[in-house]
Structure 1
Amino acid sequence: MTALIIIGVIILIIIVVKGNKKPTRQEAIYTNLKIRQKSEKEIHDELVQNLVKNIKIAVTTSNGTSSYNDDSIIDVTDQTYNINSNNHLKKYSSGVPYWSHRYVYSYSELNSTSDEQEKFYCIFKINFLNGTYFDLEGNMNYAFILLFDLLNEYDDHKSISKLESQLKILGEFYPKTKSYCISFLIDKMELGGYSDDVLRLRTEDRFSYQNYNSDYDYDYWRLGSKYKSKLNLSEEQVILLNKINYPSNNFCSIEFCCLEVLKLYVDVIQELKSKYKSDGTTIEKEFLFIADVIARKHFRYRNGSQNYKYCIESTTNEFYSIIFKYCENAVREFYGHKRKLNTDIYHTNEEAKTEVESKITLKVSELLSTLISKIIHPDEATEIELNSQTTSRWKLKFEELTTNYKINPKEFVESIIELGKLNKKNPSIENIFFEASKFIAKHDKVSSLTLYIHYLHHDIKSVTFDNKQLTKTIQKGLFKTNEQIQDFEQIVNEFISDKNLDKALKAVVKVYEVKRKKIQLDRTTIKEVQAQHSGTVELLNEYLRDDFEDENDTIQNQEINSEEIMIEIIQKNDESHQSPFLPKLSLNQIQISILELFYKNNFSILQSEIEEFAKSKGVFKNQVIESVNETCYEVLDDVLIEEEDDYYSIIPEYFQKISTK
């Protein structure tokens, strides 16, 4: 009886204490959901069982001579009791670089930090992955950057257990990230079809993924709340966008792109609601109907069971995420961004797949075909960022310029130079000028040579000086005389040495200037001299040959036929032929070439392009990939080139480890 009285008093204290605390929005939603799912008797029985199981009572004998004290007991008093869960954090010897508090939405925000902050983050991450956890001294931005970094890496390794382990540790040692770690983990699990893991995680941490951090408001961190003012959103639109996690990918890290995706998504949902309304239904009813089919037919959950209810809730949220992906892919395509998000539906049941396709994806695709015209074209800053992410994106604009060429070489050159400015962060920028030089050669000689000098200018500044020849076969008529060839060869040679772009461009114009010089020749006298000094003439011919050579370069030209000339510039400097990678790797030329190909394509290349490259070198695709991975494994202790869908990719940090530059 005494025990029951004690329990009753404790319940009363808890009710009074909780009654004075205003619940968060997430707590209220969660509580309402649970109330709907359980009867009052079930709630009462569960509460009593938890109290009996968890409450510990200090027992003292009647004479007070002995007692049992448990340090884990926390008395309900008006005093605070601090629980230190971070007692294993290690102090960073040099001191953590200060980073003022801000809301971090993607890994790319590390790009706006100082060199000192970026350097510390790299040290922080490496130590975290190796089991050493630094005290961040309140600079929690580093922990949130790491959260997005780990999420990005998951998209490559696809191991949900590895991600769960990493985020669990991150949330344990840096508690302010915990609710977000769990929220993002649940989203990844739902998208990957790990429904049982989602149920387990929500059961284990059903309160911890709510907002319990005063420093990081959960709703503020959502898309709708963040962009409410900027996009002039209604309360309904804010709630709609808050269903979507901030997309942690490179494309949406560009805010301009993200905003256009959000606007398109809001418009699509609005139009979808109108379509459903015209059919005599609502979006909520349709989503609930499809979710019910998936829960019963795909997962075989019993209607009304706990698993069934969780599946209905998570699947409904997944529909919004899928629609958002379709919108993002539409904007990516409109902006010429090569890579697309995976929108495949993992449900294997045919009826479930049919319902999703007919009632959601097909309707969304139809709407996107008309609404995409409302998208705003990228501004200059966005173009630069997009070109750095998709290194072949320039080809779209280049094709437009060549297709619409109006026999105006000056305008064409200016357009190519402007295109180059928009690709200043693109490691393949030199290819723009090389292809432009080849194209305009048929129309204007000076423009062709001018663009070739621009090609050399960017090629010299790149990681590897490819030194492509002035087109392997120069179009007929580009050079009419050997003197013109030698003049241009001299310009190229001097430019490679002094790298003076303005000087080289001014010199190009003079290649085709007519050099007039009147000479009166006595042919009879010439023939007599030739007969007397035939040996001397041969020696002079040797000195006056078309080739050029100095201490740095040898330039040779050869007439292939009446229409083609080959120009070859051979650098004597041995340094230009040294491998840009660690000497101990002993990479051969094919391996070096394929690694340089990855660099120029932003570390991600289509498998078909690798296969084409391998064929050109007379090797098999898998053979060259495996040889590179095997050679680099001892240095990296990991695979360098990884396969991802239709692409091969390299982690930039791994590339830096094997590079000497």
Structure 2
Amino acid sequence: MTAIIIIGIIIFIIYAASSKKRPTQKNTTYTNNKQQSEKEIRDELVQNLIKNIKVTVTTSSSASNYNDDSIIDVTDQSYRINSNSNLKKYRSGVPYWAHHYVYSYSEINSASSEQKKFYAIFKNSFLNREYFDLEGNTNYAFILLFDLLIEFDNHKNISKLESQLKILGQCYPKTKSYGVSFLIQKMEVNGDSDGVSRLRAEDRYGYQNYNTDYDYWRLGSKYKTKLKLNDEEVKLLNKLWYPSNNFCSVEYCCVEILKLYITVIDELKASYIAEGTTVDAQFLAVADVIARKHFKYKNGSQNYKYSIETTTNEFYSHIFKHCENAVREYYGHKRKINTDTYYTTAEAKTEFETKIISKISGLLPVLISKVSLPDEATDIELYSQNTNRWKIKFEELTTRYNEKPKEFIDSIVALGKLNKKNPSIENIFFEASKFIAKYDKESALSLYVHYLFYDLKSATFHNKQLTKTIQKSLFKTNEQLHDFEIIVSDLIKDKDLEKALKNVSKVYEVKRKKIQLDTTLIKKVQQQHSGTVELLNEYLKDDFENENNSIKSQEINNEEIKIEITQKSEATSHSAFVSDLTFSPIHISTLELFSKSNFSILQSELEIFAKSKGIFKNQLIESINETCYDFLDDVLIEEEDDYYTINTNYFQRIFVQ
């Protein structure tokens, strides 16, 4: 581009020089001949210039110097200006996708089926080092950017992510600056200060090539109208990069964090002013310590000045993270983002904590009450992201139970509707059935029917026993028990929830007089009609079966019995995992627990589960990983902060159903 500008200037100078004398209206023939002659000379001169001008990109053998492709020298050496010539044309044509600013991977959900289909092909080709010309449809490239960031959260390979984002930026330059910023964020979280310094040094030279829509893509510009921001607030939010995580991908959550963040900064400014100082002065003082003590930069050097600027911006990003964690906790979203710093020196850490973070920590508990509670759509998304979040509301409902079972059932059903995207929805009704059994028999059976209905709809029919052991008081007669068994059997067969709920109320209806049997007479008849007695015994036993199901009842003690439901079509159970993996029953139960919990379980919860199976938590994890290692060439279950997580790609490889 620069070479073209230089050539253009030369042509302009030649043209201007040759046109200083403008012909008059006299001697028209001579003038026309002269103009033609001048044009021919000018054209010939330009052609000779173009033939002899050769372009080269200046480089340096020093590793400390940055190779800037935007600086072009005119020399006698030839160089081919390389555009994105390695991009391939997609044979069927790239489906048009009207440009808009993409802020998260979830925006693929708004794409058409044709666009989604192409994106899958585009991503697969990219990962296989085949790059398509998007023909201006940059939405696909930005969706891939966020997709790669999400995948990094699973594989944790920062070198792999850096390589991917570098190629993405080369092929689709509009993503370059954003990719660098997100990569810096990931490196900061991982404590890779060397990588951060390297990227910032490179970024220092490349910022002038960023896109003209750079500011628009930032948070302040995006939400200026929606949040009615003033210029100062827009500038404040534009210091932040759009957070790339599932919680903030829910716009309602992101907006509430932004509002809290603006309020926190305002209060922080007021706090500093009350102390006779300002935000800028305090941030500068802390950034100075970090530049000198952590990075070891000399005061006044170019690196020092650049460090001051970037580190100050980091403070705003760090405050935003604390605000996000406050909103997460307020919304009952257990998983927090990492707010650790990568500063390794004690002096830098102390300065940052005492002058900035301690003040933020004091402000948030007071200001969090100003945050609006989630609306219904947001609650549904959050319940799907955090599969155990329902337990908070459930505990609230059970704690304040007021001996009104119908109200309790209505509240549980409402909670279930909010969890319609939660793969663990059936557990809500199962636990509710256990709780209400002490207070109301019919309510307990109704909630258990709800449990079975959602369990049947799930990927795996777990068929948990009714409250593990049903209170014997629920059924005063075998007839009531058998009636309920028939309801359960029909529900398994026809999946008709409303029909099952209507029939539950009939279990306790008085149907006929209770038959009193004379045991003396039975013994007498037994000798004469043994076949009739066997038929009577068959009727009185606590087992039920039809062509589809077998249901057995077993007395545990004087107050409890246990129901076991078996589907005949599935009489022979089989593992849902590849046959090469010799998983034990406890392994399978553990993996199913991970599946129900969105592949992330608190270590404390897994420890309780392991103890209930008579095994140590670490022993259980190690045995599963050992079973899978040869097949995956990697561990299946990893430890991440307070959680155990499973890489979903690995799980799909071992899951065969």
> Scaled by the length of structure 1, what TM-score is found?
0.84
Aligned residue in 1 for 2:44? none
Task: Give per-residue Cα distances to partners, 1:570-618, cap 9 Å, x unaligned.
Answer: 2222377233334454544333222211111111112333333334334
Unaligned runs of 5+ in 1: 1-8, 18-48, 59-68, 73-82
Asked if 1:600 is matched to 2:596, the reply is yes
Tell whether the 8 Å contact from 2:193 to 2:342 is kept in structure 1 after alignment.
no
* Alignment-mate amino acid for residue 90 of structure 2: Y
Deviates more, 1:385-394 or 1:98-107: 98-107
Q: 2:325 aligns with which of 307, 322, 329?
A: 329
Inter-partner Cα distance in structure 2 for 1:258 and 1:156: 23
Aligned ranges 1:97-496 → 2 under 5 Å: 97-190=95-188, 192-210=190-208, 212-214=210-212, 217-496=213-492
Aligned residue in 1 for 2:500? 504
Unaligned runs of 5+ in 2: 14-66
Say if 1:143 and 1:364 are closer, same or farther in 2 by CA, change over 3 A.
same
Inter-partner Cα distance in structure 1 for 2:472 and 2:82: 79
Aligned residue in 2 for 1:30? none
Tell whether the 8 Å contact from 2:478 to 2:540 is kept in structure 1 after alignment.
no
Inter-partner Cα distance in structure 1 for 2:297 and 2:471: 71
Tell whether the 8 Å contact from 1:452 to 1:470 is kept in structure 2 after alignment.
yes
Aligned residues: CA RMSD: 3.0
* Alignment-mate amino acid for residue 70 of structure 1: S
Say if 1:200 and 1:561 are closer, same or farther in 2 by CA, change over 3 A.
closer
Inter-partner Cα distance in structure 1 for 2:466 and 2:257: 43
Give, in angstroms, the shift of residue 268 of structure 1.
0.2
SS in 2 for 1:123: helix
Tell whether the 8 Å contact from 2:601 to 2:643 is kept in structure 1 after alignment.
yes
- Aligned residue pair count: 598
SS in 2 for 1:245: coil
Give, in angstroms, the shift of residue 521 of structure 1.
8.7
Say if 1:540 and 1:155 are closer, same or farther in 2 by CA, change over 3 A.
closer
* Alignment-mate amino acid for residue 302 of structure 1: K
Inter-partner Cα distance in structure 2 for 1:472 and 1:194: 49
Task: Give per-residue Cα distances to partners, 1:446-491, cap 9 Å, x unaligned.
Answer: 1110000000000000011000011222224111111111111111
Inter-partner Cα distance in structure 2 for 1:50 and 1:265: 37
Inter-partner Cα distance in structure 1 for 2:118 and 2:580: 28
* Alignment-mate amino acid for residue 376 of structure 1: S
Task: Give per-residue Cα distances to partners, 1:44-81, cap 9 Å, x unaligned.
Answer: xxxxx999x952334xxxxxxxxxx7254xxxxxxxxx
Say if 1:71 and 1:349 are closer, same or farther in 2 by CA, change over 3 A.
closer
Say if 1:588 and 1:346 are closer, same or farther in 2 by CA, change over 3 A.
same
Inter-partner Cα distance in structure 1 for 2:91 and 2:628: 32
Inter-partner Cα distance in structure 2 for 1:544 and 1:482: 7
SS in 1 for 2:507: helix
Task: Give per-residue Cα distances to partners, 1:167-191, cap 9 Å, x unaligned.
Answer: 1111111122122222333344455
Say if 1:294 and 1:12 are closer, same or farther in 2 by CA, change over 3 A.
farther
Say if 1:307 and 1:188 are closer, same or farther in 2 by CA, change over 3 A.
farther
* Alignment-mate amino acid for residue 146 of structure 2: F
Aligned residue in 2 for 1:55? 73
Tell whether the 8 Å contact from 2:416 to 2:425 is kept in structure 1 after alignment.
yes
* Alignment-mate amino acid for residue 169 of structure 1: I
Tell whether the 8 Å contact from 1:182 to 1:209 is kept in structure 2 after alignment.
no
Deviates more, 1:533-542 or 1:409-418: 533-542
Inter-partner Cα distance in structure 2 for 1:157 and 1:125: 17
Asked if 1:569 is matched to 2:565, the reply is yes
SS in 2 for 1:555: strand
Task: Give per-residue Cα distances to partners, 1:352-394, cap 9 Å, x unaligned.
Answer: 2222222111111111111111010110000000000111111
* Alignment-mate amino acid for residue 97 of structure 1: P
Tell whether the 8 Å contact from 2:390 to 2:428 is kept in structure 1 after alignment.
yes
Inter-partner Cα distance in structure 2 for 1:643 and 1:658: 19
Tell whether the 8 Å contact from 1:486 to 1:546 is kept in structure 2 after alignment.
yes
Task: Give per-residue Cα distances to partners, 1:597-654, cap 9 Å, x unaligned.
Answer: 1111111112333333334334454454345445555665654333322222223344
SS in 2 for 1:134: coil
Q: 1:91 aligns with which of 83, 86, 89?
A: 89
Inter-partner Cα distance in structure 2 for 1:537 and 1:381: 61
Tell whether the 8 Å contact from 2:381 to 2:421 is kept in structure 1 after alignment.
yes
Aligned residue in 2 for 1:29? none
Inter-partner Cα distance in structure 2 for 1:220 and 1:621: 49
Say if 1:310 and 1:112 are closer, same or farther in 2 by CA, change over 3 A.
same
Tell whether the 8 Å contact from 2:106 to 2:249 is kept in structure 1 after alignment.
yes
SS in 1 for 2:506: helix
Tell whether the 8 Å contact from 1:330 to 1:368 is kept in structure 2 after alignment.
yes
Inter-partner Cα distance in structure 1 for 2:454 and 2:554: 26
SS in 2 for 1:169: helix
Inter-partner Cα distance in structure 2 for 1:241 and 1:659: 44
Tell whether the 8 Å contact from 1:464 to 1:580 is kept in structure 2 after alignment.
no
SS in 2 for 1:577: coil
* Alignment-mate amino acid for residue 456 of structure 1: L
Give, in angstroms, the shift of residue 123 of structure 1.
3.1
Tell whether the 8 Å contact from 2:192 to 2:342 is kept in structure 1 after alignment.
no
SS in 1 for 2:74: coil
> Scaled by the length of structure 2, what TM-score is found?
0.84
Say if 1:486 and 1:289 are closer, same or farther in 2 by CA, change over 3 A.
same
Deviates more, 1:218-227 or 1:93-102: 93-102
Aligned residue in 1 for 2:78? 70
Inter-partner Cα distance in structure 1 for 2:249 and 2:546: 50
Say if 1:495 and 1:274 are closer, same or farther in 2 by CA, change over 3 A.
same
Aligned ranges 1:34-45 → 2 under 5 Å: none
Tell whether the 8 Å contact from 1:388 to 1:425 is kept in structure 2 after alignment.
yes
Inter-partner Cα distance in structure 1 for 2:6 and 2:337: 52
* Alignment-mate amino acid for residue 445 of structure 1: K
SS in 2 for 1:511: coil
Inter-partner Cα distance in structure 2 for 1:344 and 1:422: 33
Give, in angstroms, the shift of residue 107 of structure 1.
1.4
* Alignment-mate amino acid for residue 131 of structure 1: R
Aligned residue in 1 for 2:16? none
* Alignment-mate amino acid for residue 225 of structure 1: S
Tell whether the 8 Å contact from 1:211 to 1:218 is kept in structure 2 after alignment.
no
Inter-partner Cα distance in structure 2 for 1:275 and 1:566: 63
Inter-partner Cα distance in structure 2 for 1:521 and 1:440: 34
Tell whether the 8 Å contact from 1:228 to 1:238 is kept in structure 2 after alignment.
yes
Give, in angstroms, the shift of residue 98 of structure 1.
3.2
Aligned residue in 1 for 2:22? none
Inter-partner Cα distance in structure 2 for 1:337 and 1:612: 21
Task: Give per-residue Cα distances to partners, 1:488-516, cap 9 Å, x unaligned.
Answer: 11111111111111111111000000123
SS in 1 for 2:224: coil
Task: Give per-residue Cα distances to partners, 1:81-136, cap 9 Å, x unaligned.
Answer: xx552222233344433322211001121233334433433332233222222222
SS in 2 for 1:387: helix
Inter-partner Cα distance in structure 1 for 2:227 and 2:531: 85
